[in-house]
Structure 1
Amino acid sequence: MGVSTSLPELGEDLRLDELHRPDVPWQTVVWNDPVNLMSYVVHVFREYFGYSIDRATQLMLAVHHDGHAVVAEGAREQMELHAQAMHDYGLWATVRKAPVG
């Protein structure tokens, strides 16, 4: 999709005591890559997450222009499933703890 960005290490900014707190939300982040077409990324977001065409396009544009986008937020286990699904579609995705505040 254009601009190349480096992926962060999974969990690089996490403290061990935060890993098992169910009250802390987690995020699935999709990263820009030089392979997938923008239309395909919109298709994946619509098919997998059920997003509207407008929401899927908005997220794809964030990935394209900003290098990444948060596509889901919730329990860690669910975010890991989402990230794996994105990998299965051929997209680059990671899971991170949501910022506080």
Structure 2
Amino acid sequence: MSALASPDIDEDIDLMRTVDPDRPWQTVVWNDPVNLMTYVVRVLREYFGYSREVATRLMLAVHNEGHAVVSEGPREQMELHAQAMHDYGLWATIRKAPE
């Protein structure tokens, strides 16, 4: 029998700094050349339950800045939100919230 090789471990790595389970994730909606601004507002109101004002502000961020964070929370929930945005025909991704 041969011994199993194990990788060198750098003991100076602070695991609590590199893996932060409490740091939230974000669902980001991206600008696209297909969907109308009114449709994006309708999707945000319908799916997230945002008021017209909040949905319009987020849509304008998508339009003017290229993207907007539309939700923040646990990774699994953000993945569901991103999939829902895809189902509506919007471009969406998830990412870790900035520190």
Q: Distance in 2 between matches of 1:53 and 1:22?
A: 33
- Distance in 2, matches of 1:58 and 1:65, equals 10
Secondary structure at 2:56 match in 1: helix
- The number of residues matched between the two structures is 82
Structure 1: state its 5+ residue gaps.
1-16
Large movers: runs of 4+ above 6 Å: none
User: 2:84 and 2:21 mapped to 1: Cα distance?
Assistant: 22
**Structure 1 residue 99 corresponds to structure 2 residue 93:** no
* SS of residue matched to 2:33: coil
SS in 1 for 2:70: strand
The percentage of aligned residue pairs carrying the same residue is 79
Q: TM-score, normalised by structure 1?
A: 0.79
Unpaired segments ≥5 residues, structure 2: 1-17
**Deviation of the 1:22 alpha carbon:** 2.8
1:72-93 residue CA offsets vs partner (Å, 9 max, x unmatched): 0000000000000000000000
Root-mean-square deviation (CA, aligned residues, Å) is 0.9
TM-score relative to the length of structure 2: 0.80
